[in-house]
């Protein structure tokens, strides 16, 4: 198997608006990130993925870009970016940017000119269609609420925005648009960045006939996405030593192989969604449901075995769109919160693939108990609150409980650096409230504590650098029907590691001997110091242990 650098790496995702405020305006920025590079380096990660920092009206926190070639002033200047990139490289780390090219902002000059004149050279950069029967061109609804179509009287036509009216979709069937995007990608790559995370990339291959869908959801996956990504690869990507990771929901395992197979000629890996959509229901994510462990184990088993030797998995539970993993999968009970955060880290990092750590995950940050819709900042949650409460489908309390369980703002509260005011994130009240548990959960306290979540992340990230079995070993899911224990085995060059995770707050019996050949067992890592599990075969609440038989 080729051992490209991004396979051995751990990625650290920074959401700039919430990471660290360097100039006291309550909003995170590039100088704040620069001030924390030592912290990031000490964590041991290899690659920083920056969520968008381009000029934006900020309707979707930067995922609505109005100028791809300049830095959002509130985040800093291009000189600040160049300094961040240089310092990141000088510290032996790499920097990957977020590429948001399914759509721009509706304030992008391309869109403004496209909207104003049917003969503009930019008209076909977007999807413009006449209305039908006095209504929208088709029945699609936008992911963040409302219709996917926005009417413009300027030319008496509608434009398409599958996410929101603030994010009109780019028309990838138009070659001039694709070349415009490729030029922009080369601009950033020629500055020396080390790759891209490609936002909602599954959405660029729409059927240009834009037919009605059965349920009003946008028909985005049409198959032309692979044609465009192959062109992007041959035009741009293959000319650089970079990492590319496509974000796409609704992917089957076959899709993942098509997008990121070693011989696909497209991308290096995908950020897939099937696991983080397992606790969805007829109300989409707006519920307080929990993930079924048996279903989850079977899904991961499918991905790990189907991709092994053919494609590369990303490994994550947390990012700026996901609730905090410890709240979703672990326990907020102080007796178990840290142990469960470490258990989730073991379960994730010891699989085959590249782990993604989202800011704050490494210290076990939790969801927020949102008390009022006025505390929310995410348009997806605010629109959903209005929709469910005004329709009477949910009470305000019920909807706030759903948002506290699954809303995206849970991941976007300020990074908790220390126990000073605003958690050391800023000297001024931040753009979004700080989680009230910051005095208890913060990086400063944990850097000094050997048995903290932060110290544990440093240990397992270091283990990955020292043990190729963790990176390249095969994967075998074990005891898949077990409702409490998630166990799997890694094998590589005669070595075998057994990874055992108790996903419950109970003591659970699990016979490890059934799965490891003879030889004296050695604990590679464990989240309970001096665990007696090997002898007792009883896993403590949220106990995680990795055993090798030498």
- Residue 72 or 442 with smaller CB distance to Ca ion: 72
Smallest distance, Å, CB 22 to Ca ion? 6
Note whether 511 and 542 are within 8 A (CB): no
For residue 315, the number of C-alpha atoms closer than 13 Å in the C-beta half-sphere is 25
Residue 21 annotated in active site: no
What residues are paired with 247 via a beta bridge? 271
Smallest distance, Å, CB 249 to ligand TEU? 4
| Residue 111 binds: one of ligand TEU, Ca ion, none (C-beta under 5 to 8 A by kind) | none
- Residue 319 or 446 with smaller CB distance to ligand TEU: 319
Smallest distance, Å, CB 448 to ligand TEU? 34
Give me the torsion for CA of 379, 143, 293, 527, rounded to 10°.
-40
Stretch that binds Ca ion, among 14-22, 47-55, 187-195, 428-436 (CB under 5 A): 14-22
Please report the beta strands in 142-228, taking only residues with DSSP state E, as ranges in sequence order.
149-152, 157-160, 195-198
CA 74 to chain centre: 23
| Residue 271 binds: one of ligand TEU, Ca ion, none (C-beta under 5 to 8 A by kind) | none
Residue 466 annotated in active site: no
CA 529 to chain centre: 31
| Residue 25 binds: one of ligand TEU, Ca ion, none (C-beta under 5 to 8 A by kind) | Ca ion
- Residue 164 or 331 with smaller CB distance to ligand TEU: 164
In this structure, are strands 243-247 and 195-198 parallel, antiparallel, or unpaired?
parallel
Burial of 222 (0-12, 13-18, 19+ CB in 10 A): middle
Burial of 238 (0-12, 13-18, 19+ CB in 10 A): exposed
- Residue 240 or 273 with smaller CB distance to ligand TEU: 273
Contacts (CB under 5 A) with Ca ion, residues 433-492: none
| Residue 321 binds: one of Ca ion, ligand TEU, none (C-beta under 5 to 8 A by kind) | ligand TEU
- Residue 148 or 508 with smaller CB distance to ligand TEU: 148
In the DSSP assignment, the letter for residue 311 is B
Q: Which of 120, 141, 213, 249 binds ligand TEU (CB under 6 A)?
A: 249
- Residue 49 or 63 with smaller CB distance to ligand TEU: 63
Q: How many residues bind ligand TEU (CB under 6 A)?
A: 11
Contacts (CB under 6 A) with ligand TEU, residues 31-90: 60, 63
Residue 115 binding Ca ion, by CB under 5 A? no
Closest listed residue to residue 461, CA positions, set 40, 3, 43, 5: 43
In this structure, are strands 11-14 and 47-50 parallel, antiparallel, or unpaired?
parallel
Note whether 272 and 248 are within 8 A (CB): yes
For residue 252, the number of C-alpha atoms closer than 13 Å in the C-beta half-sphere is 4
Round to the nearest angstrom and report the end-to-end CA distance of the chain: 24
Give me the torsion for CA of 160, 162, 167, 173, rounded to 10°.
-60
CB atoms within 10 A of CB 493: 8
Q: Give the CA distances from residue 526 to residues 328, 472, 534, in Å, rounded to whole numbers and listed in that order.
A: 21, 21, 11
Contacts (CB under 5 A) with Ca ion, residues 26-55: 27, 29
- Residue 24 or 494 with smaller CB distance to Ca ion: 24
Q: Which helix (H) or strand (E) holds 56?
A: none
CB neighbour list of residue 175: distance below 8 Å, 6 or more residues apart: none
Stretch that binds Ca ion, among 23-31, 253-261, 272-280, 487-495 (CB under 5 A): 23-31
Note whether 382 and 373 are within 8 A (CB): yes
Of residues 58, 115, 199, 266, which has the active-site annotation? 199
Q: Tokens 């030319």 appear where? A: 155
- Residue 23 or 233 with smaller CB distance to Ca ion: 23
Contacts (CB under 6 A) with ligand TEU, residues 128-157: 143
Contacts (CB under 6 A) with ligand TEU, residues 302-321: 320-321
| Residue 479 binds: one of Ca ion, ligand TEU, none (C-beta under 5 to 8 A by kind) | none
Binding mask 321-360 for ligand TEU (x = CB under 6 A): x---------------------------------------
| Residue 383 binds: one of ligand TEU, Ca ion, none (C-beta under 5 to 8 A by kind) | none
Q: Which of 50, 97, 100, 460 binds ligand TEU (CB under 6 A)?
A: 100
CB neighbour list of residue 171: distance below 8 Å, 6 or more residues apart: 124, 125, 126, 127, 177, 208
Q: Which of 14, 55, 200, 315 binds ligand TEU (CB under 6 A)?
A: 200
| Residue 49 binds: one of ligand TEU, Ca ion, none (C-beta under 5 to 8 A by kind) | none
Residues that bind Ca ion (CB under 5 A): 21, 23, 25, 27, 29
Report the catalytic residues: 199, 247
| Interface with ligand TEU (CB under 6 A) | 60, 63, 100, 143, 163, 199-200, 247, 249, 320-321
């Amino acid at each position: 198997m080729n051992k490209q650098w991004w396979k051995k790496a751990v990625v650290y995702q920074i959401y700039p608006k919430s990471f660290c405020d360097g100039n006291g305006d309550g909003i995170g920025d590039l100088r704040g990130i620069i001030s924390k590079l030592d912290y990031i380096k000490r964590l041991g990660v290899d690659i920083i993925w920056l969520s968008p920092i381009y000029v934006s009206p900020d309707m979707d926190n930067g995922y609505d870009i109005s100028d791809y070639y300049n830095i959002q002033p509130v985040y800093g200047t291009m000189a600040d970016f160049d300094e961040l990139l240089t310092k990141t490289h000088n510290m032996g780390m790499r920097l990957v940017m977020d590429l948001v090219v399914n759509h721009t902002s509706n304030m992008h000059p391309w869109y403004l000119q496209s909207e104003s004149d049917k003969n503009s050279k930019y008209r076909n950069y977007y999807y413009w269609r006449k209305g039908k029967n006095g209504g929208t061109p088709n029945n699609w609804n936008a992911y963040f609420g409302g219709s996917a179509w926005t009417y413009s009287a300027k030319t008496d036509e509608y434009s398409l925005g599958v996410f929101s009216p603030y994010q009109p979709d780019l028309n990838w069937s138009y070659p001039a648009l694709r070349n415009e995007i490729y030029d922009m990608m080369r601009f950033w790559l020629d500055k020396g960045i080390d790759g891209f995370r490609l936002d909602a990339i599954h959405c660029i291959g729409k059927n240009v006939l834009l037919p009605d869908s059965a349920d009003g959801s946008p028909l985005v996956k049409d198959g032309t996405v692979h044609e465009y990504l192959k062109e992007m690869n041959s035009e741009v990507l293959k000319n650089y030593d970079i990492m590319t990771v496509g974000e796409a929901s609704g992917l089957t395992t076959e899709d993942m192989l098509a997008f990121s197979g070693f011989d696909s000629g497209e991308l290096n890996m995908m950020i897939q969604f099937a696991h983080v959509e397992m606790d969805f229901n007829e109300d989409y994510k707006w519920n307080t449901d929990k993930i079924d462990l048996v279903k989850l184990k079977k899904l991961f088993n499918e991905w790990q075995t189907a991709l092994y030797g053919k494609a590369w998995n990303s490994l994550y539970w947390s990012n700026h769109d996901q609730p905090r993993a410890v709240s979703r999968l672990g326990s907020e009970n102080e007796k178990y919160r840290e142990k469960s955060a470490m258990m989730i880290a073991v379960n994730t990092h010891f699989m085959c693939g590249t782990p993604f750590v989202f800011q704050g995950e490494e210290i076990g940050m939790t969801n927020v108990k949102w008390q009022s819709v006025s505390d929310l900042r995410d348009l997806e949650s605010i629109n959903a609150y209005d929709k469910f409460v005004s329709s009477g489908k949910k009470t305000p309390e019920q909807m706030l409980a759903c948002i506290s369980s699954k809303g995206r703002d849970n991941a976007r509260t300020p990074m908790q650096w220390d126990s000073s005011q605003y958690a050391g994130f800023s000297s001024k009240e931040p753009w979004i409230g700080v989680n009230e548990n910051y005095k208890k959960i913060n990086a400063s306290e944990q850097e000094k504590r050997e048995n903290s979540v932060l110290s544990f992340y440093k240990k397992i990230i270091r283990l990955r650098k020292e043990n190729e079995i963790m990176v390249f070993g095969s994967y075998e899911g074990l005891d898949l029907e077990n409702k409490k224990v998630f166990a799997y085995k890694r094998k590589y060059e005669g070595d075998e590691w057994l990874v055992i995770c108790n996903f419950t707050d109970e003591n659970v019996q699990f016979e490890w001997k059934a799965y490891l050949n003879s030889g004296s067992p050695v604990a590679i890592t464990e989240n309970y110091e001096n665990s007696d599990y090997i002898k007792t075969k009883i896993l403590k609440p949220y106990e995680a242990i990795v055993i090798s038989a030498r």
